[in-house]
Copies of this chain bind each other. A is one copy, B any other.
């Protein structure tokens, strides 16, 4: 029997920019990125906007129009944007993907045109999915507008939508053409969106950077009080650690059986589902982290002191570390409605072999391939005690 071995590597490059007021007259970044080569016509750009963003910034698309007029040598704006609802709705309804694809077809958007998407992580995921499958990939400019999207969701290589009631059942690995983080958009976030993205920063700090964790631990007050410089610092470092992980992990398209950045995420995904997405992703991640940190401590992997410092840090950002869905701890893990079933779902998701990330120290993650349900049950009890003590303290103040 004969065979031919095929081997090649595909290089990917993109920049993540940190700017302010991206569509102001004086900000040349967006136009510069799109400026065509000599003798080439200006490229078409179709905008996809998060409905929530357009509500907070009703002037946004008009500003984009004015910007496009001024920069007409650089790009040609499709006159009407596609507006889709923010949050998980964007990913749950296939009609939003269809509307984007119809616009791509109608406006003649090709592989050398651009789709620019501005909004939260869910809208960016959905638009990125549509861009990734149209013509086998239209160039995508991501303009994330929430903390979670700017520091995590929008800087990576994944996109996707939900189907069959499953998160990200459909998706692709397609790196963006570029990412532009505009700090101005953060100012109009409500307090819940402002803080909920911080849990991903805590996560990556715990895995990779004790200095960054200290920064997060010491600046919770400042950050909760919406200090801009502190938030910009948080977003930059968190994005940097994520990007660095993708480029140096050796598995950017996650073909192996491990998801090192999914620390705390098995429980987070399950809690999002069990609360019917009442918990936002960042909020669920905070609980997932608290749980796996407490479990790590009970396994003797980190000290009680470190554990307490981490839980208090999360608490200082206002995260709830307890929801009633954690009470399912005593249920059979084979029961789909129990939290512990999330471990089984995670195992299936990884393709048969469970690999979860725990902590060996602050800044030091370690993967394990088996868990002890009873210790998880104890960890849940500990969290409940921690949370009620904390509530008492708050009430006493």
Bits for A1-33, please: 1 = Cβ < 8 Å to B, else 0: 111111111111111111100000000010000
B3, B133, B164, B353: the one contacting A171 at CB < 8 Å is B133
CB of B133 within 8 A of CB of A172, answer: yes
A:227-244 near B, CB below 8 Å = 236, 239-240, 243
Bits for A240-261, please: 1 = Cβ < 8 Å to B, else 0: 1001001110001111010000
CB of B15 within 8 A of CB of A2, answer: no
* Contact partners of A243 in chain B: CB under 8 A: 4, 6
* Contact partners of A41 in chain B: CB under 8 A: 352
User: Looking across the interface, which residue of chain B has its beta carbon closest to that of A41?
Assistant: B352
User: Looking across the interface, which residue of chain B has its beta carbon closest to that of A248?
Assistant: B8
- Is A168's beta carbon under 8 Å from chain B? yes
CB of B3 within 8 A of CB of A13, answer: no
- Is A210's beta carbon under 8 Å from chain B? no
User: Looking across the interface, which residue of chain B has its beta carbon closest to that of A132?
Assistant: B172
* Contact partners of A1 in chain B: CB under 8 A: 17-19, 29
- Is A135's beta carbon under 8 Å from chain B? yes
Given contacts A105-B169, A112-B352, contact A4 B15 (CB under 8 A): yes
CB of A253 within 8 A of CB of B10, answer: yes
- Is A211's beta carbon under 8 Å from chain B? no
- Is A142's beta carbon under 8 Å from chain B? no
- Is A386's beta carbon under 8 Å from chain B? no
CB of A348 within 8 A of CB of B108, answer: yes
Given contacts A3-B15, A3-B17, A112-B352, contact A172 B169 (CB under 8 A): no
Whole-angstrom CA separation of A7 from B171 in the bound complex: 22
CB of B170 within 8 A of CB of A133, answer: yes
CB of B6 within 8 A of CB of A18, answer: no
CB of B40 within 8 A of CB of A353, answer: yes
Whole-angstrom CA separation of A199 from B40 in the bound complex: 34
Q: Interface centre among A166, A169, A257, by most B CB within 10 Å?
A: A169
CB of B2 within 8 A of CB of A236, answer: yes
Given contacts A18-B1, A110-B348, A353-B40, contact A246 B133 (CB under 8 A): no
Chain B proximity of A352: nearest CB distance (Å): 6
CB of A9 within 8 A of CB of B6, answer: no
Whole-angstrom CA separation of A172 from B135 in the bound complex: 8
User: Looking across the interface, which residue of chain B has its beta carbon closest to that of A239?
Assistant: B4
Whole-angstrom CA separation of A249 from B134 in the bound complex: 23
Given contacts A105-B169, A136-B168, contact A8 B12 (CB under 8 A): yes
Whole-angstrom CA separation of A252 from B1 in the bound complex: 27
* Contact partners of A349 in chain B: CB under 8 A: 110-111, 135
* A-B interface, 10 closest residue pairs, ranked by CB to CB distance from nearest: A112-B351, A8-B247, A9-B9, A136-B171, A105-B164, A9-B11, A2-B18, A3-B17, A4-B16, A7-B13
A interface with B by C-beta (< 8 Å): 1-19, 29, 40-41, 43, 101-102, 105, 108, 110-113, 132-137, 155, 158, 160, 163-164, 166, 168-175, 236, 239-240, 243, 246-248, 252-255, 257, 348-353
27 contacts between A and B (CB under 8 A): A1-B17, A1-B19, A4-B15, A4-B236, A6-B12, A6-B16, A6-B247, A7-B11, A7-B247, A9-B9, A9-B10, A9-B11, A10-B253, A105-B164, A105-B166, A110-B348, A110-B350, A111-B351, A112-B350, A132-B172, A135-B169, A135-B349, A136-B168, A136-B171, A136-B172, A136-B254, A137-B172
